[in-house]
Structure 1
């Protein structure tokens, strides 16, 4: 979408704030990709969970099966 009105400096066509909805592996990957590509504006990642993004598939297999500790599911170390 090319419309940048109210979301940044129209002179450079780049938004200065981005909101990523969904604190999943995909949401985290989107934020990391933006940073990796040089985006230096504000990034906000929101989700319904009270904890940081985690790796969901192993939750039902490894954690509930008592093979992993829940802390191992974190996709990134706490900041």
Structure 2
């Protein structure tokens, strides 16, 4: 897992009109990286935003934990 600290600039997306400035930026390489990032966010009262390929960010990412998942080749969600 690659992690940047507070005030990190997020990855460039295609929606250049929105700032991407999370408190913590995590470049997840494994599902465990994602779990760690979510646990960190929950433990610090921060929201989590997922960022895959640069498409579809709903707006600005100010604060919280931005989890970049572009290095993952699939996603499985366990609802439990």
TM interval, short-chain normalised: 0.3 to 0.5
- Normalising by structure 2, we get a TM-score of 0.37
Answer 1 or 2: which has greater strand percent.
2
TM-score, normalization: structure 1? 0.37
